[in-house]
Amino acid sequence: MPNKMSAQCHCGAVVVNVELVDGFKTIRRCNCSFCRMRGAVVVSASGIEVIKGKETLTEYRFNTREVAHYFCSVCGIYTFHQSRSNPEQYGVNVACIAGVSPFDFSFVKVTDGIHHPKDGGEGGVAGYLSYVAK
């Protein structure tokens, strides 16, 4: 798959171009309090270009307030966030990328955000989620 892709929220008010770091080799979920509730599968991106709807994006910061998580203020869909581990990168909701579904991936690594290294924890991998089509 190409590393430059288009993504959008559910209603189409927010459209972004993303440049993936390493294709879909970096897909993951996180077990921190926020990501656990959000439930999105994300992929690493080295760049985000908002093509449409910058004024429609809503920013949410929690805990240390170091990084911003962006949502469409119209439909509420989480689109992307700045990486806490590497602020030069972003996590992009794979469900927002054109032609991609979180169910395209049979195994998804779950990172240990509960014990994030920036909070003094070890981080690493907490486990794996699997999806088996019926």
Q: Locate the domains of the chain by residue range.
A: 4-100
The whole-number pLDDT of residue 2 equals 63
pLDDT of residue 83: 86
Q: How is domain 4-100 classified at the architecture level of CATH?
A: Beta Complex (2.170)
The string of pLDDT tens digits covering residues 74-113 is 999 999 999 888 888 999 999 999 999 999 999 999 999 8
For 64-75, how does the pLDDT look when each residue is reduced to its tens digit (9 = 90+)? 888 899 999 999
Q: Model's pTM, two decimal places?
A: 0.92
The span from the CA of 132 to the CA of 31, in Å, is 21
pLDDT higher than 90, residue 12: yes
Strand partners, 28: 42, 109
CA distance 70 to 91: 10
* Cα–Cα distance list, 70 to 1, 2, 56, 82 (Å): 25, 24, 10, 9
Structure-token match 């004024």, residue found: 55
Residue of 88, 62, 60, 70 whose CA lies nearest to 16: 70
DSSP 86-111: -TTSEEEEGGGBTT--GGG-SEEEEE
Q: Please give the pLDDT value at position 67.
A: 86
pLDDT at 121: 86
Instruction: Give dist(CA 75, CA 39) in Å, integer.
Output: 16
